[in-house]
């Protein structure tokens, strides 16, 4: 039986090649990057001890750099297991949940017709290209130049022009012996009941060819040149080749851009053809667009086939926010572990085309770097602009968020969303945030205190530890600064306090290195809640955010006691780079040191867990050689963990950071 190319491509698109190959190999955990769909293993086709066999989900291909074998889903099964091609197709179709087509003369006829229709669409695309470069296309060429498109970009996307004539394309195709039935089946003419003579569907429009996953022309989008045209943008109607809700503009080219070591990390969905084309010209080649409609389930599935966390880019106006909220509702039921979305909102009145036309890709890259998670968008949708000053309003917010989370089908993801909601609500609805008589304030020297607490920077009056100078008599100044004596033993680690409080005092650092800073994973639960709200404030206010505004917002959210404690902890340790008084350059340097220590500690702890797992497995298998090697490696890692913990203990007790004590004005 002969399978149609479209059927084979469809089942390959539905099943990641790693799912097929992963049943026969063990992926190398050090080289494999699951989030990018990039897998390495020891080659199953020849004996080897180091992983040189590589497969990429985005390309649907495998290749061994040792023996040179390469191929797709079907070839892997045929060559490795020696199974017939028909059986390989059946197995992968089963994985995709698709039935094999039954031998049917009519279906074979339709497939032949489909191939013929693709040939007709190719002829139409060539005709439009010729017209753009001819005399009739002068006005369209001028428009494209005004939009900043180069000749190379126009050629890359095969842009064209449909003349202002009722029959120009129809006559061109008829002159090449294309039957009128095929012209009609391609959706190139308007025909049907009540229309005596068919006429060209696209007239006086700039033409954008729409390609299939196999990069064949299957439809067109047309942008009207006349200002009074009934529709500014017009797409091909539904045909045997084209189903609008199942296609993304620039899909194949964006998928290629994701491959390789230097490829883009994710795919970006923007709103229109021109946005995609302008971004490509600016160097952003991983953008796609739905075809003039809201994102559909099938289009969302296409995005997820390319990457685990695509970025949806919307205009920052009301319409863009409404579209983002529709996408949230569309995605929630379909979330799975490792499969989500991020949302990038453009500045008001700007689209990606505007942003890159004058200043290149840098402004757009900054917008994408600040993309918000799906959980953030859900939270902002339900809280932005609302007031929650009564128990009833808070209960209503609670119910809305839980109802949204209940739509998530995957049990594990739903559990973690509910946990995230509880954490956010807990921070948002702290009683102190609504009923505290005092509040959070910043001293002139940059410290945080709680009004009405009876405690200031000089200590509690009557405390026997405090002498005339505010330092306990008989206790050294160094010991007084330690967390044990100051009563702050339950505070976060000093490292985490530095990471959080430096950003509170110098929020511009957040926007300088947003990717690194915003993704910090705090162990302390209070800091987790603080960080979540801080990022919400930063996302809402943007790069203009300053320390005063951020501090006021965090007070409103009830974080003043925590901030006051953090400030006291930092000052006891004399880590002045984290305080408001520090110069920005000093704060930046101190923050970089703390962040490097944090990352190194996290990496070592992860490595220790992995080694412990491997050690347990090797012990069970009785592999003495591996056990010895793993034990030695584990001891080395543990020694480094202990060294870093001791370093942090020294910082906490003595106020030393990387061998330096820093303070304003030589303190």
Question: What pLDDT score was predicted for residue 35?
Answer: 77
Among 183, 216, 242, residue at a domain's last position: 242
Q: What is the pLDDT of residue 330?
A: 95
Question: Is 435 part of any domain?
Answer: no
Structure-token pair, residue 359: 């200043």
pLDDT attached to residue 644: 62
273: CATH: 3.40.1360.10
Query: Which has more confidence, 24 or 612?
Result: 24
pTM above 0.75, yes or no: no
Answer yes or no: are the C-beta atoms of 481 and 573 closer than 8 Å.
yes
Distance (Å, whole) CA 157 – CA 275: 13
The larger pLDDT score, comparing residue 16 to residue 439, is at: 16
Q: What is the dihedral of CA 104, 109, 110, 111, to 10 degrees?
A: 90
Does the pLDDT value for residue 436 go beyond 70? no
How far apart are the C-alpha atoms of 249 and 216, rounded to whole Å?
Answer: 12
Give, in degrees to the nearest 5, the angle at Cα 375 between 373 and 377. Answer: 75
Question: Is 300 within the bounds of a domain?
Answer: yes
Same domain, 148 and 268: no
Return the structure tokens found at 642. 């202990």
8 Å CB contact between 556 and 440 = no
% of the chain beyond a pLDDT of 70? 83
pLDDT at 53: 92
User: What pLDDT is stored for residue 275 in this prediction?
Assistant: 93
Q: Say whether both 513 and 563 belong to one domain.
A: yes
Does residue 284 share a domain with residue 224?
Answer: no
* Residues 386, 292 within the same domain: yes
What pLDDT score was predicted for residue 467?
Answer: 35
Tell which of 179, 208, 242 closes a domain: 242
Average pLDDT of span 61-82: 87
Report yes or no on 15 lying in a domain.
Answer: yes
Does residue 510 sit in the same domain as residue 643? yes
pLDDT digits (tens, 9 = 90+) for 24-41: 888 998 889 887 788 999
Q: For residue 452, is pLDDT > 50?
A: no
For the ranges 123-127, 401-405, 557-561, 599-603, the lowest mean pLDDT is seen at 599-603
- Same-domain pairing of 514 and 582: yes
Confidence at residue 400, expressed as pLDDT on a 0 to 100 scale? 93
Whichever domain contains 218, its CATH number is 3.90.980.10
Considering the domain boundaries, does residue 248 fall inside one? no
- Asked which of 66, 96, 126 is the last residue of a domain, the reply is 96
- Report strand pairing: 440-442 vs 448-450: antiparallel
The segment with the largest mean pLDDT, out of 160-174, 547-561, 582-596, 623-637, is: 160-174
> Is 656's pLDDT higher than 60?
no
Q: Are residues 562 and 477 in the same domain?
A: yes
Separation between Cα atoms, residue 21 and residue 9, nearest integer Å: 17
Q: Give the CA count within 13 Å in the CB-facing half-sphere of 2.
A: 8
Q: What is the pLDDT of residue 430?
A: 66
Percent of the chain clearing pLDDT 90 (strictly above) = 36
User: Which one has a higher pLDDT value, 615 or 311?
Assistant: 311
- Expressed as residue numbers, the domain containing 50 is 5-96
Beta strands in 167-289 (DSSP E): 189-190, 199-200, 205-211, 217-224, 233-235, 268-269, 287-288
Assign 460 to helix, strand or coil: strand
d(CA 253, CA 73): 21
The per-residue pLDDT of the chain, averaged, comes to 81
End-to-end CA distance of the chain: 84
Q: DSSP string of 61-108?
A: EEEETTT--EE-HHHHHHHHH---HHHHHHHHHHHHT-PPPPP-HHHH
Q: Which residue has the tokens 């780079």?
A: 577
> What integer pLDDT is reported at residue 115 of this predicted model?
63
For residues 398 and 317, membership in a common domain is answered with yes
Q: What is the pLDDT of residue 44?
A: 86
**191 and 146 in a common domain:** yes
Domain count, the chain: 4
Structural contact between residues 41 and 24, judged by C-beta atoms closer than 8 angstroms: no
DSSP assignment of 211-241: E-TT--EEEEEEEESSTT-S-SEEEPPP-SS
Q: Look at residue 477 in the predicted model and tell me its pLDDT.
A: 40
Tell me the per-residue pLDDT of 83-118, one tens digit each, with 9 for 90 and over. 788 888 989 999 888 888 776 656 555 555 666 899
Reported as a single tens digit per residue, the pLDDT across 375-412 is 999 998 998 878 888 889 989 999 999 999 999 999 99
Within-domain flag for 247: no
The answer to whether residue 537 sits within a structural domain is: yes
pLDDT at res. 322? 86
> Does position 207 have pLDDT exceeding 90, yes or no?
yes
pLDDT the model gives residue 505: 94
| pLDDT at res. 463 | 37
**Contact (CB, 8 A) for 32 and 39:** yes
476/574 same-domain check? yes
384-410 burial string, b = 16+ CB within 10 Å, else e? eeeebeeeeeeeebbebbeebbeebee
Say if CB 1 and CB 86 are below 8 A apart. yes
Encode pLDDT of 239-274 as tens digits: 989 999 889 999 988 988 875 444 567 899 998 899
Least confident of 427-431, 453-457, 562-566: 453-457
232: pLDDT strictly greater than 60: yes
Q: pLDDT band for position 315 (50/70/90)?
A: confident
> For residue 491, is pLDDT > 90?
no
Is 434 inside any structural domain?
A: no
* Cα 596 from Cα 249, distance rounded (Å): 41
Degrees, nearest 5: CA angle 579-581-583: 100
Q: How would residue 575 be classed by pLDDT, with cut points 50, 70 and 90?
A: confident
Distance between CA atoms of residues 577 and 654, nearest Å? 15
| Count of alpha carbons within 13 angstroms of residue 634, beta-carbon side | 15
Both 382 and 475 in a single domain? no
215-224 average pLDDT score: 94
- Regarding whether 126 and 225 lie in a shared domain, the answer is yes
Q: Any residues with CB less than 8 A from the CB of 266 and at least 6 apart, and which?
A: 258, 286, 307, 309, 310, 311, 342
Give the contacts of 476 (CB within 8 A, at least 6 positions apart): none
What residues form DSSP beta bridges with 575?
Answer: 662
pLDDT at 110: 59
What's the confidence (pLDDT) of residue 387? Answer: 83
> How confident is the model at residue 647, as a pLDDT?
56
């Amino acid at each position: 039986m002969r399978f149609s190319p479209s059927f084979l491509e469809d089942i390959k698109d539905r099943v990641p090649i790693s799912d097929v190959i992963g049943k026969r190999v063990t992926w190398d955990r050090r080289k494999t990057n699951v989030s990018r769909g990039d897998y390495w293993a020891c080659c199953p086709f020849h004996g080897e001890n180091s992983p040189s066999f590589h497969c990429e989900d985005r390309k649907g291909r495998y290749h061994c750099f040792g023996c040179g074998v390469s191929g797709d889903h079907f070839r892997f099964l045929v060559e490795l297991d020696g199974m017939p091609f028909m059986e390989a197709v059946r197995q992968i179709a089963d994985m995709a949940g698709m039935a094999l087509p039954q031998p049917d003369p009519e279906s074979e006829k339709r497939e032949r017709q489909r191939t013929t229709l693709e040939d007709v669409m190719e002829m139409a695309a060539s005709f439009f290209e010729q017209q753009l470069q001819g005399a009739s296309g002068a006005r369209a060429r001028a428009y494209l130049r005004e939009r900043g498109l180069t000749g190379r970009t126009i050629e890359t996307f095969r842009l064209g022009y449909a003349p202002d004539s009722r029959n120009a394309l129809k006559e061109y195709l008829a002159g090449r012996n294309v039957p009128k039935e095929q012209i009609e089946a391609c959706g190139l003419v308007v025909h049907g009941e009540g229309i005596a003579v068919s006429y060209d569907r696209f007239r006086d429009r700039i033409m954008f060819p729409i390609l299939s996953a196999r990069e064949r022309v299957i439809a067109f989008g047309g942008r009207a040149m006349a200002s009074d045209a009934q529709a500014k943008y017009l797409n091909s109607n539904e045909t045997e080749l084209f189903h609008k809700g199942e296609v993304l503009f620039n899909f194949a080219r964006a998928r290629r851009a994701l491959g390789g070591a230097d490829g883009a990390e994710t795919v970006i969905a923007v709103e229109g053809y021109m946005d995609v084309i302008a971004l490509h010209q600016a160097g952003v080649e991983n953008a796609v667009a739905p075809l003039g409609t809201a994102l559909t389930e099938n289009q969302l599935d296409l995005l997820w086939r390319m990457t685990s966390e695509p970025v949806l880019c919307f205009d920052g106006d009301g319409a863009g926010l409404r579209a983002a909220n529709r996408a949230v509702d569309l995605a929630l039921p379909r979330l799975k572990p490792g499969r989500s979305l991020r949302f990038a909102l453009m500045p008001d009145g700007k689209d990606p085309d505007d942003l890159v036309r004058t200043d290149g890709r840098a402004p757009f890259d900054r917008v994408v770097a600040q993309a918000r998670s799906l959980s953030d968008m859900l939270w902002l949708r339900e809280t932005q602009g609302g007031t929650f000053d009564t128990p009833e309003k808070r209960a209503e917010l609670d119910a809305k968020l839980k109802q949204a989370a209940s739509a998530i089908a995957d049990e594990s993801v739903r559990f973690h969303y509910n946990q995230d909601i509880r954490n956010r609500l807990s921070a948002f609805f702290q009683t102190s945030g609504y009923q505290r008589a005092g509040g959070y304030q910043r001293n002139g020297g940059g410290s945080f205190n709680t009004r009405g607490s009876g405690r200031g920077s000089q200590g509690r009056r009557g405390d026997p530890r405090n002498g005339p100078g505010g330092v306990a008599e008989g206790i050294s100044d160094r010991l007084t600064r330690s967390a044990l004596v100051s009563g702050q033993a339950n505070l976060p680690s000093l490292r985490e306090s530095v990471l959080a409080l430096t950003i509170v005092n110098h929020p511009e650092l957040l926007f300088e290195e947003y990717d690194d800073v915003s993704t910090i994973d705090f162990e302390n639960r209070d800091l987790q809640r603080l960080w979540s709200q801080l990022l919400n404030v930063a996302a809402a206010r943007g790069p203009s955010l300053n320390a005063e505004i951020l501090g006021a917002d965090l007070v409103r959210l009830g974080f003043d006691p925590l901030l006051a404690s953090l400030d006291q902890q930092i000052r006891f340790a004399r880590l002045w780079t984290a305080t408001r008084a520090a110069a920005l350059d000093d704060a930046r340097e101190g923050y970089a040191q703390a962040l490097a220590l944090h990352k190194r500690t996290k990496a070592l702890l992860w490595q220790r867990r992995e080694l412990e797992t491997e050690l347990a497995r090797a012990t069970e298998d009785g592999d003495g050689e591996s056990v010895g090697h793993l034990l030695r490696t584990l001891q080395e890692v543990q020694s480094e963990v202990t060294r870093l913990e001791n370093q942090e203990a020294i910082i906490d007790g003595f106020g030393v950071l990387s061998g330096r004590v820093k303070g304003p004005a030589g303190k």
